[in-house]
Structure 1
Amino acid sequence: MEAAFSKNIAMIFEQPTSVFALAAMVALILAFAYIKKVKLNTSMMVHIGLMLALTVILHTFRLYHMPQGGSVTLGAMIPLLLIAFRYGPVVGYLAGFTYGLLNLLQDPYILHPVQVLFDYPLPYMALGLAGYFKDRMLLGAIVGSCGRFICHFISGVVFFASYAPPGTSPYWYSLVFNATYLLPELMICLLILRVLPVKRLLLQMRNSENYVSGYGR
Protein backbone atom coordinates (compact mmCIF):
# COMPACT_ATOMS: atom_id res chain seq x y z
CA MET A 1 0.00 0.00 0.00
CA GLU A 2 2.83 2.39 0.86
CA ALA A 3 4.52 1.54 -2.44
CA ALA A 4 1.34 2.34 -4.37
CA PHE A 5 0.96 5.64 -2.49
CA SER A 6 4.58 6.58 -3.22
CA LYS A 7 4.07 5.68 -6.88
CA ASN A 8 0.99 7.91 -7.09
CA ILE A 9 2.85 10.81 -5.49
CA ALA A 10 5.74 10.35 -7.92
CA MET A 11 3.32 10.35 -10.87
CA ILE A 12 1.79 13.61 -9.67
CA PHE A 13 5.15 15.35 -9.40
CA GLU A 14 6.13 14.09 -12.85
CA GLN A 15 3.34 16.34 -14.14
CA PRO A 16 4.15 19.84 -12.80
CA THR A 17 1.08 21.30 -14.49
CA SER A 18 -1.14 19.24 -12.19
CA VAL A 19 0.85 20.25 -9.12
CA PHE A 20 0.67 23.94 -9.90
CA ALA A 21 -2.99 23.70 -10.87
CA LEU A 22 -3.67 22.25 -7.44
CA ALA A 23 -1.54 24.95 -5.77
CA ALA A 24 -3.35 27.68 -7.70
CA MET A 25 -6.76 26.36 -6.74
CA VAL A 26 -5.76 26.08 -3.08
CA ALA A 27 -4.48 29.68 -3.14
CA LEU A 28 -7.70 30.92 -4.74
CA ILE A 29 -9.90 29.00 -2.30
CA LEU A 30 -7.98 30.36 0.71
CA ALA A 31 -8.10 33.89 -0.69
CA PHE A 32 -11.84 33.73 -1.31
CA ALA A 33 -12.38 32.28 2.15
CA TYR A 34 -10.82 35.44 3.57
CA ILE A 35 -12.53 37.73 1.06
CA LYS A 36 -15.98 36.40 2.03
CA LYS A 37 -15.39 37.78 5.54
CA VAL A 38 -14.99 41.31 4.22
CA LYS A 39 -18.00 43.61 4.33
CA LEU A 40 -17.81 45.99 1.40
CA ASN A 41 -19.49 49.34 1.91
CA THR A 42 -20.31 51.98 -0.69
CA SER A 43 -17.14 54.04 -0.24
CA MET A 44 -14.92 50.96 -0.45
CA MET A 45 -16.55 49.84 -3.69
CA VAL A 46 -16.22 53.35 -5.12
CA HIS A 47 -12.52 53.50 -4.21
CA ILE A 48 -11.84 50.02 -5.58
CA GLY A 49 -13.66 50.90 -8.80
CA LEU A 50 -11.70 54.14 -9.22
CA MET A 51 -8.36 52.45 -8.49
CA LEU A 52 -9.11 49.63 -10.93
CA ALA A 53 -10.02 52.15 -13.63
CA LEU A 54 -6.80 54.06 -12.95
CA THR A 55 -4.79 50.82 -13.12
CA VAL A 56 -6.31 49.97 -16.50
CA ILE A 57 -5.49 53.46 -17.79
CA LEU A 58 -1.91 53.41 -16.49
CA HIS A 59 -1.36 49.98 -18.01
CA THR A 60 -2.00 51.46 -21.45
CA PHE A 61 1.00 53.79 -21.01
CA ARG A 62 3.66 51.16 -21.62
CA LEU A 63 7.31 52.05 -21.73
CA TYR A 64 8.11 48.58 -22.99
CA HIS A 65 6.10 45.46 -23.82
CA MET A 66 7.66 42.00 -23.68
CA PRO A 67 7.02 39.64 -26.64
CA GLN A 68 5.38 36.92 -24.51
CA GLY A 69 3.46 39.32 -22.29
CA GLY A 70 4.50 41.61 -19.45
CA SER A 71 5.08 45.35 -19.59
CA VAL A 72 6.98 48.19 -17.99
CA THR A 73 4.39 50.86 -17.26
CA LEU A 74 4.16 54.28 -15.64
CA GLY A 75 3.35 52.86 -12.21
CA ALA A 76 0.29 50.75 -13.00
CA MET A 77 0.74 48.82 -9.73
CA ILE A 78 0.39 51.96 -7.59
CA PRO A 79 -3.46 52.07 -7.42
CA LEU A 80 -3.63 48.40 -6.37
CA LEU A 81 -0.97 49.04 -3.73
CA LEU A 82 -2.96 52.01 -2.42
CA ILE A 83 -6.03 49.79 -2.00
CA ALA A 84 -3.94 47.27 -0.04
CA PHE A 85 -2.40 50.01 2.13
CA ARG A 86 -5.79 51.57 2.86
CA TYR A 87 -7.98 48.51 3.39
CA GLY A 88 -5.49 45.75 4.16
CA PRO A 89 -4.37 42.61 2.35
CA VAL A 90 -7.77 40.90 2.01
CA VAL A 91 -9.37 43.77 0.09
CA GLY A 92 -6.07 44.01 -1.79
CA TYR A 93 -6.51 40.38 -2.88
CA LEU A 94 -10.02 41.14 -4.09
CA ALA A 95 -8.93 44.20 -6.06
CA GLY A 96 -5.96 42.29 -7.50
CA PHE A 97 -8.12 39.36 -8.55
CA THR A 98 -10.57 41.69 -10.27
CA TYR A 99 -7.81 43.55 -12.08
CA GLY A 100 -6.22 40.24 -13.12
CA LEU A 101 -9.42 39.38 -14.99
CA LEU A 102 -9.51 42.85 -16.56
CA ASN A 103 -5.87 42.50 -17.60
CA LEU A 104 -6.68 39.16 -19.19
CA LEU A 105 -9.11 41.03 -21.44
CA GLN A 106 -6.75 43.96 -21.88
CA ASP A 107 -3.51 42.10 -22.66
CA PRO A 108 -4.20 38.36 -23.19
CA TYR A 109 -1.45 35.83 -23.81
CA ILE A 110 -2.86 32.35 -23.28
CA LEU A 111 -1.08 29.01 -23.58
CA HIS A 112 -2.87 26.94 -20.95
CA PRO A 113 -5.72 27.40 -18.42
CA VAL A 114 -3.33 26.99 -15.47
CA GLN A 115 -0.91 29.46 -17.05
CA VAL A 116 -3.78 31.98 -17.11
CA LEU A 117 -4.12 31.62 -13.33
CA PHE A 118 -0.41 32.22 -12.74
CA ASP A 119 -0.11 35.14 -15.14
CA TYR A 120 -3.34 37.02 -14.41
CA PRO A 121 -5.41 36.60 -11.19
CA LEU A 122 -2.73 35.22 -8.84
CA PRO A 123 0.14 37.70 -9.46
CA TYR A 124 -2.10 40.72 -9.03
CA MET A 125 -3.71 39.17 -5.97
CA ALA A 126 -0.18 38.83 -4.58
CA LEU A 127 0.12 42.63 -4.59
CA GLY A 128 -2.37 42.53 -1.72
CA LEU A 129 0.50 41.28 0.47
CA ALA A 130 1.59 44.93 0.62
CA GLY A 131 -1.34 45.49 2.98
CA TYR A 132 0.60 43.78 5.77
CA PHE A 133 3.11 46.65 5.66
CA LYS A 134 0.95 49.76 5.93
CA ASP A 135 3.56 51.55 8.00
CA ARG A 136 6.46 50.54 5.71
CA MET A 137 5.04 51.13 2.29
CA LEU A 138 8.24 50.74 0.30
CA LEU A 139 8.80 47.36 1.91
CA GLY A 140 5.17 46.49 1.23
CA ALA A 141 5.61 47.34 -2.45
CA ILE A 142 8.70 45.12 -2.61
CA VAL A 143 6.95 42.19 -0.89
CA GLY A 144 3.90 42.50 -3.14
CA SER A 145 6.10 42.68 -6.23
CA CYS A 146 8.06 39.62 -5.09
CA GLY A 147 4.78 37.74 -4.73
CA ARG A 148 3.84 38.78 -8.25
CA PHE A 149 7.28 37.77 -9.53
CA ILE A 150 7.01 34.28 -8.01
CA CYS A 151 3.72 33.66 -9.84
CA HIS A 152 5.14 34.80 -13.18
CA PHE A 153 8.36 32.85 -12.54
CA ILE A 154 6.43 29.61 -12.00
CA SER A 155 4.45 30.25 -15.18
CA GLY A 156 7.66 30.87 -17.11
CA VAL A 157 9.31 27.67 -15.92
CA VAL A 158 6.30 25.41 -16.51
CA PHE A 159 4.65 26.91 -19.58
CA PHE A 160 7.24 29.03 -21.41
CA ALA A 161 10.26 26.71 -21.20
CA SER A 162 10.04 26.05 -24.95
CA TYR A 163 10.86 29.73 -25.58
CA ALA A 164 14.23 29.39 -23.82
CA PRO A 165 17.26 29.40 -26.14
CA PRO A 166 18.85 25.97 -26.71
CA GLY A 167 20.96 24.90 -23.75
CA THR A 168 19.41 27.52 -21.42
CA SER A 169 17.82 26.40 -18.18
CA PRO A 170 14.09 27.21 -18.09
CA TYR A 171 14.62 28.45 -14.51
CA TRP A 172 17.28 30.92 -15.63
CA TYR A 173 15.24 31.92 -18.67
CA SER A 174 12.13 32.61 -16.57
CA LEU A 175 14.17 34.49 -13.96
CA VAL A 176 15.79 36.80 -16.52
CA PHE A 177 12.67 37.25 -18.64
CA ASN A 178 10.41 38.25 -15.76
CA ALA A 179 13.06 40.33 -13.99
CA THR A 180 13.58 42.28 -17.23
CA TYR A 181 10.22 44.00 -16.86
CA LEU A 182 9.21 43.47 -13.21
CA LEU A 183 12.38 44.99 -11.77
CA PRO A 184 12.06 48.28 -13.72
CA GLU A 185 8.32 48.27 -12.91
CA LEU A 186 9.16 47.96 -9.20
CA MET A 187 11.78 50.72 -9.39
CA ILE A 188 9.26 53.07 -10.99
CA CYS A 189 6.67 52.24 -8.32
CA LEU A 190 9.16 52.82 -5.49
CA LEU A 191 10.13 56.18 -7.00
CA ILE A 192 6.47 57.21 -7.30
CA LEU A 193 5.75 56.12 -3.73
CA ARG A 194 8.67 58.25 -2.55
CA VAL A 195 7.46 61.31 -4.45
CA LEU A 196 3.70 60.87 -4.10
CA PRO A 197 2.07 62.14 -0.88
CA VAL A 198 0.73 58.64 -0.17
CA LYS A 199 -0.24 59.26 3.45
CA ARG A 200 -2.24 62.32 2.46
CA LEU A 201 -4.01 60.36 -0.27
CA LEU A 202 -4.89 57.58 2.16
CA LEU A 203 -6.13 60.17 4.66
CA GLN A 204 -8.35 61.72 1.98
CA MET A 205 -9.75 58.28 1.18
CA ARG A 206 -10.53 57.80 4.87
CA ASN A 207 -12.14 61.23 5.15
CA SER A 208 -14.31 60.57 2.11
CA GLU A 209 -15.48 57.33 3.77
CA ASN A 210 -16.46 59.27 6.88
CA TYR A 211 -18.32 61.77 4.73
CA VAL A 212 -20.23 59.04 2.91
CA SER A 213 -21.06 57.33 6.22
CA GLY A 214 -22.29 60.60 7.71
CA TYR A 215 -24.34 61.37 4.61
CA GLY A 216 -25.90 57.93 4.81
CA ARG A 217 -27.21 58.70 8.29
Structure 2
Amino acid sequence: MNKMINTKLIAEGGVMIGLATLLSLIKVYEAPFGGSVTAGSMIPIMIFAARWGMLQGILVGSIYGVLQFILKPYFYHPVQFLLDYPIAFGLLGLAGIINIKKKNKVNHLTLGIGILLAILGRFIAHLLSGVVFFYEYAGDMNPWLYSTLYNGSYLGIELIVSLIIILLIWKPVTKIPKPIKSSTN
Protein backbone atom coordinates (compact mmCIF):
# COMPACT_ATOMS: atom_id res chain seq x y z
CA MET A 1 0.00 0.00 0.00
CA ASN A 2 1.17 3.46 -0.67
CA LYS A 3 1.08 6.34 1.81
CA MET A 4 -2.08 7.86 0.33
CA ILE A 5 -4.05 4.65 0.84
CA ASN A 6 -2.67 4.16 4.36
CA THR A 7 -3.52 7.74 5.31
CA LYS A 8 -7.06 7.55 3.91
CA LEU A 9 -7.66 4.14 5.51
CA ILE A 10 -6.48 5.35 8.92
CA ALA A 11 -8.44 8.62 8.67
CA GLU A 12 -11.64 6.90 7.55
CA GLY A 13 -11.21 4.23 10.24
CA GLY A 14 -10.82 6.91 12.92
CA VAL A 15 -13.87 8.81 11.70
CA MET A 16 -15.94 5.62 11.65
CA ILE A 17 -14.83 4.69 15.18
CA GLY A 18 -15.76 8.21 16.34
CA LEU A 19 -19.15 8.07 14.60
CA ALA A 20 -19.87 4.60 15.98
CA THR A 21 -18.97 5.81 19.47
CA LEU A 22 -21.30 8.81 19.20
CA LEU A 23 -24.14 6.61 17.92
CA SER A 24 -23.54 4.16 20.78
CA LEU A 25 -24.37 6.93 23.25
CA ILE A 26 -27.89 7.22 21.78
CA LYS A 27 -29.63 4.27 23.41
CA VAL A 28 -33.15 3.27 22.46
CA TYR A 29 -33.11 0.36 24.91
CA GLU A 30 -30.50 -0.78 27.41
CA ALA A 31 -30.51 -4.35 28.69
CA PRO A 32 -30.06 -4.72 32.46
CA PHE A 33 -26.73 -6.59 32.35
CA GLY A 34 -25.13 -4.94 29.32
CA GLY A 35 -25.95 -4.64 25.65
CA SER A 36 -28.31 -2.13 24.11
CA VAL A 37 -30.25 -1.11 21.04
CA THR A 38 -28.58 2.04 19.78
CA ALA A 39 -29.01 4.49 16.94
CA GLY A 40 -27.12 2.14 14.62
CA SER A 41 -23.73 2.21 16.33
CA MET A 42 -22.40 -0.83 14.42
CA ILE A 43 -23.21 0.66 11.03
CA PRO A 44 -20.05 2.81 10.61
CA ILE A 45 -17.79 -0.16 11.43
CA MET A 46 -19.59 -2.44 8.96
CA ILE A 47 -19.54 0.20 6.23
CA PHE A 48 -15.82 0.66 6.79
CA ALA A 49 -15.28 -3.10 6.53
CA ALA A 50 -17.37 -3.34 3.38
CA ARG A 51 -15.33 -0.55 1.77
CA TRP A 52 -11.83 -1.52 2.90
CA GLY A 53 -11.98 -5.24 3.54
CA MET A 54 -12.42 -7.80 6.25
CA LEU A 55 -9.01 -7.59 7.94
CA GLN A 56 -9.08 -3.80 8.09
CA GLY A 57 -12.67 -4.00 9.38
CA ILE A 58 -11.71 -6.47 12.11
CA LEU A 59 -8.89 -4.18 13.23
CA VAL A 60 -11.10 -1.08 13.34
CA GLY A 61 -13.90 -3.03 15.04
CA SER A 62 -11.48 -4.33 17.68
CA ILE A 63 -10.24 -0.81 18.41
CA TYR A 64 -13.86 0.32 18.69
CA GLY A 65 -14.52 -2.55 21.12
CA VAL A 66 -11.64 -1.52 23.36
CA LEU A 67 -12.94 2.06 23.30
CA GLN A 68 -16.39 0.78 24.32
CA PHE A 69 -14.74 -0.93 27.29
CA ILE A 70 -12.89 2.24 28.24
CA LEU A 71 -16.12 4.28 28.14
CA LYS A 72 -18.23 1.77 30.08
CA PRO A 73 -16.02 -0.94 31.55
CA TYR A 74 -17.51 -4.20 32.70
CA PHE A 75 -14.74 -6.57 33.64
CA TYR A 76 -15.22 -10.01 35.11
CA HIS A 77 -12.37 -12.07 33.67
CA PRO A 78 -9.67 -11.47 31.00
CA VAL A 79 -11.32 -13.93 28.59
CA GLN A 80 -14.70 -12.27 29.16
CA PHE A 81 -13.11 -8.92 28.32
CA LEU A 82 -11.71 -10.36 25.08
CA LEU A 83 -15.01 -11.99 24.08
CA ASP A 84 -17.22 -9.01 24.92
CA TYR A 85 -15.07 -6.21 23.57
CA PRO A 86 -12.25 -6.64 21.01
CA ILE A 87 -13.45 -10.00 19.65
CA ALA A 88 -17.19 -9.21 19.56
CA PHE A 89 -16.77 -5.80 17.96
CA GLY A 90 -13.85 -6.98 15.82
CA LEU A 91 -16.15 -9.58 14.28
CA LEU A 92 -18.18 -6.71 12.84
CA GLY A 93 -15.34 -6.62 10.32
CA LEU A 94 -16.82 -9.79 8.80
CA ALA A 95 -19.03 -7.40 6.83
CA GLY A 96 -15.90 -6.89 4.73
CA ILE A 97 -16.14 -10.42 3.38
CA ILE A 98 -18.08 -8.91 0.48
CA ASN A 99 -14.92 -7.01 -0.47
CA ILE A 100 -12.99 -10.22 -1.27
CA LYS A 101 -14.12 -10.34 -4.90
CA LYS A 102 -13.35 -6.78 -5.88
CA LYS A 103 -14.16 -7.38 -9.56
CA ASN A 104 -17.80 -8.08 -8.77
CA LYS A 105 -20.02 -5.22 -7.82
CA VAL A 106 -21.52 -5.51 -4.37
CA ASN A 107 -25.27 -5.98 -4.61
CA HIS A 108 -27.84 -5.78 -1.85
CA LEU A 109 -27.84 -9.55 -1.34
CA THR A 110 -24.09 -9.83 -0.78
CA LEU A 111 -24.12 -6.70 1.38
CA GLY A 112 -26.97 -8.15 3.45
CA ILE A 113 -25.06 -11.41 3.87
CA GLY A 114 -21.99 -9.48 5.03
CA ILE A 115 -24.05 -7.56 7.59
CA LEU A 116 -25.71 -10.76 8.79
CA LEU A 117 -22.33 -12.51 9.20
CA ALA A 118 -20.90 -9.53 11.07
CA ILE A 119 -23.69 -9.28 13.60
CA LEU A 120 -23.89 -13.08 13.90
CA GLY A 121 -20.16 -13.07 14.73
CA ARG A 122 -20.71 -10.49 17.44
CA PHE A 123 -23.70 -12.48 18.73
CA ILE A 124 -21.63 -15.68 18.99
CA ALA A 125 -18.89 -13.91 20.97
CA HIS A 126 -21.45 -12.51 23.45
CA LEU A 127 -23.26 -15.86 23.56
CA LEU A 128 -20.08 -17.65 24.60
CA SER A 129 -19.27 -14.99 27.17
CA GLY A 130 -22.77 -15.27 28.59
CA VAL A 131 -22.68 -19.06 28.84
CA VAL A 132 -19.21 -19.24 30.37
CA PHE A 133 -19.15 -16.19 32.64
CA PHE A 134 -22.74 -15.13 33.33
CA TYR A 135 -24.59 -18.44 33.58
CA GLU A 136 -25.73 -17.64 37.13
CA TYR A 137 -28.18 -15.06 35.70
CA ALA A 138 -29.99 -17.88 33.90
CA GLY A 139 -31.39 -19.25 37.15
CA ASP A 140 -33.25 -22.46 36.31
CA MET A 141 -33.08 -21.79 32.56
CA ASN A 142 -30.50 -23.49 30.35
CA PRO A 143 -27.53 -21.05 30.13
CA TRP A 144 -27.32 -21.50 26.34
CA LEU A 145 -30.99 -20.62 25.92
CA TYR A 146 -30.75 -17.73 28.37
CA SER A 147 -27.69 -16.25 26.68
CA THR A 148 -29.28 -16.71 23.24
CA LEU A 149 -32.47 -14.94 24.29
CA TYR A 150 -30.65 -12.21 26.20
CA ASN A 151 -28.15 -11.32 23.48
CA GLY A 152 -30.62 -11.94 20.67
CA SER A 153 -33.09 -9.52 22.25
CA TYR A 154 -30.98 -6.49 21.41
CA LEU A 155 -28.74 -7.75 18.60
CA GLY A 156 -31.76 -8.93 16.59
CA ILE A 157 -33.16 -5.40 16.61
CA GLU A 158 -29.70 -3.97 15.82
CA LEU A 159 -29.50 -6.39 12.86
CA ILE A 160 -32.80 -5.18 11.42
CA VAL A 161 -31.89 -1.50 11.91
CA SER A 162 -28.42 -2.04 10.41
CA LEU A 163 -29.75 -3.92 7.38
CA ILE A 164 -32.34 -1.26 6.61
CA ILE A 165 -30.03 1.72 7.02
CA ILE A 166 -26.98 0.26 5.26
CA LEU A 167 -29.03 -1.02 2.33
CA LEU A 168 -30.65 2.42 1.98
CA ILE A 169 -27.39 4.39 2.07
CA TRP A 170 -25.09 1.93 0.27
CA LYS A 171 -25.43 3.47 -3.20
CA PRO A 172 -24.30 6.95 -2.04
CA VAL A 173 -21.52 5.33 0.05
CA THR A 174 -20.13 3.62 -3.05
CA LYS A 175 -19.70 7.01 -4.68
CA ILE A 176 -17.19 8.07 -2.02
CA PRO A 177 -13.83 7.66 -3.76
CA LYS A 178 -11.07 5.50 -2.41
CA PRO A 179 -7.52 6.14 -3.53
CA ILE A 180 -6.36 4.07 -6.46
CA LYS A 181 -3.27 1.94 -5.92
CA SER A 182 -0.40 3.32 -7.90
CA SER A 183 2.28 1.18 -9.48
CA THR A 184 4.96 3.12 -7.59
CA ASN A 185 5.35 2.90 -3.85
TM-score (norm 1): 0.75
SS of 1:45's partner is: helix
CA drift at 1:81: 0.6
Distance 1:200 1:182 in 2: 26
Match of 1:116?
A: 81
**RCO higher in structure (CA 8 A, sep ≥6):** 2
Equivalent of residue 92 in structure 1, options 49, 57, 61: 57
Aligned partner of 1:141 among 101, 115, 118: 115
C-alpha deviation, 1:41, in angstroms: 1.0
Partner amino acid for 2:138? A
Runs of 4+ in 1 over 6 A off after TM superposition: 37-40
Deviation at 1:202, TM superposition (A): 3.2
Whether the 8 Å contact between 1:164 and 1:170 is mirrored in structure 2 is: yes
| 8 Å CA contact retained: 1:52, 1:95 | yes
Match of 2:103 in 1: none
Distance 1:54 1:205, change over 3 A: farther
Residue 202 (1) aligns with residue 167 (2): no
Q: Deviations over 1:74-118 (max 9, x none)?
A: 111110011111110010011011001100012222111110000
- Aligned equivalents of 1:192, 1:200: Cα separation in 2: 12
Aligned to 2:26: 61
Any unmatched runs of 5+ in structure 1?
1-36
| Preserved contact between residue 81 and residue 141 of structure 1 (Cα < 8 Å) | yes
Give the RMSD, CA atoms, in angstroms: 2.0
CA contact (8 A) 1:48 1:95 kept: yes
Aligned residues: 172
Fraction of identical pairs, as percent: 39
Note closer, same or farther for the CA distance 1:101–1:205 as it changes in structure 2 (3 Å cut): farther
Give the C-alpha shift of residue 38 in structure 1: 11
TM-score (norm: length of structure 2): 0.87
Would you tell me which structure has more helix in proportion to its own residues? Answer: 1
Instruction: Return the offset for 1:143.
Output: 0.6
- CA shift, 1:170, in A, is 0.6
Provide the rounded CA distance (Å) in 1 between the counterparts of 2:52 and 2:64: 16
Counterpart of 2:35 in structure 1 is: 70
Counterpart in the other structure of 2:91:
126
Deviations 1:114-147 (A, max 9, x none): 1000000001111111111242111100011111
Rg: which structure is higher? 1
Describe the shift of the 1:100–1:71 C-alpha distance in structure 2 as closer, same or farther (beyond 3 A). Answer: same
Q: Which residue of 1 aligns with 2:152?
A: 179
Q: Provide the residue aligned with 2:16 in structure 1.
A: 51
Q: Secondary structure at the match of 1:132?
A: helix
Shift of 1:200: 2.4
